[in-house]
């Protein structure tokens, strides 16, 4: 990540702290830990909230083929930056709350291997978390995984949301050498669970 991108990120945070939710892009260690949360296998990997692209870069470096990567970013400036930085991948300007319709509008019916999220989940209410996770589960055959980073100690997905959806959570990485230190969480559901 170069200094210019960090400054742009910081300026965005100053203007809309709850939309961007971090003063700086994720560091390479955190981005690699997010990519390591992916299951083996085939299918589309969807990244929500790509920002300036550190997680996108790590997903590509971890072997996700550019054709199998779809990034959804709501901010126009970040969307343009991502499109220029990663010309070989699909970067959609859109809102993660419209996840299913954005994916369906592409026309192709891909199987989805995982959803990887840099969205600011902690400030969201349970209703909004449910809206996003329900769509993520629908796209992944009811199972997940949904990979999310967070700066706090506790799960960024609320216990009530996990209970409503029958999700289990695992903290798969603690990245001390990130600013600020962060944890990576993986949420999954046993598809046999009736929800
Ligand atoms: C904490 S930043 C993470 C950026 C990047 N993934 C990283 O790790 O540095 C959150 C990103 O999510 C985007 N975002 C926030 N809410 C969104 C939404 N509802 N739909 C799509 N993108 C959103 C913001 O514009 C920002 O780029």
pLDDT digits 0-9 by tens, 123-176: 999 999 999 999 999 999 999 999 999 999 999 999 999 999 999 999 999 999
CA of 122 to the centre of ligand 1 (A): 13
Residue having the nearest C-alpha atom to atom 14 of ligand 1: 49
- CB of 88 closer than 8 Å to CB of 66: yes
What tokens appear for 71 in the block?
């990034």
Q: State the CB neighbour count (10 A cutoff) for residue 154.
A: 12
Q: Where are the domains of the chain?
A: 26-189
CB-ligand 1 contact for 150 (6 Å cutoff):
no
Is it the case that residue 9 has pLDDT exceeding 80? no
Q: How far is CA 114 from CA 2, 24, 118, in A?
A: 28, 25, 13
Give the atom of ligand 1 at the shortest distance from the alpha carbon of 51: 27
Quick one: which of 33, 114, 37, 135 has its CA closest to 69? 114
State mean pLDDT over 31-38: 96
Distance CA 70, CA 73 (A): 10
Residue having the nearest C-alpha atom to atom 4 of ligand 1: 51
Q: How far is CA 37 from CA 106, 146, 168, 184, in A?
A: 26, 9, 14, 8
**Percentage of the chain exceeding pLDDT 90:** 77
Is it the case that residue 23 has pLDDT exceeding 70? no
What pLDDT is stored for residue 194 in this prediction?
63
Is it the case that residue 195 has pLDDT exceeding 90? no
pTM: 0.91
CA of 170 to the centre of ligand 1 (A): 22
Residue having the nearest C-alpha atom to atom 2 of ligand 1: 20
Q: For residue 71, what are the contacts with CB-CB under 8 A and spacing of at least 6?
A: 46, 47, 50, 56, 82, 86, 89, 90, 91, 92
Query: Helix and strand tally (H, E) in the chain?
Result: 8, 7
Q: What is the CATH number of domain 26-189?
A: 3.40.50.150
CA of 193 to the centre of ligand 1 (A): 30
Residues 64-81: tens digit of each pLDDT? 999 999 999 999 999 999
């Amino acid at each position: 990540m170069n200094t210019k991108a960090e400054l742009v990120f910081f300026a965005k945070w100053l203007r809309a702290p709850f939309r961007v939710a971090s003063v700086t892009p994720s560091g390479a260690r955190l981005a690699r830990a997010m990519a390591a949360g992916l299951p083996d296998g085939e299918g589309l990997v969807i990244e929500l909230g790509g920002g300036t692209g550190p997680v996108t870069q790590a997903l590509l470096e971890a072997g996700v083929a550019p054709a199998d990567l779809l990034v959804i970013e709501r901010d126009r400036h970040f969307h343009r930056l991502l499109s220029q930085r990663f010309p070989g991948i699909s970067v959609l300007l859109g809102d993660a709350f419209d996840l299913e319709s954005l994916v369906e509008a592409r026309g192709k019916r891909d199987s989805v291997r995982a959803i990887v999220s840099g969205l600011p989940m902690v400030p969201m209410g349970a209703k909004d978390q449910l809206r996003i996770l329900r769509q993520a589960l629908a796209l992944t055959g009811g199972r997940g995984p949904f990979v999310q980073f967070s700066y706090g100690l506790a799960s960024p997905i609320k216990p009530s949301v996990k209970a409503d959806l029958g999700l289990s959570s695992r903290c798969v990485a603690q990245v001390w050498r990130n600013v600020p230190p962060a944890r990576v969480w993986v949420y999954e559901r046993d598809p046999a669970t009736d929800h």
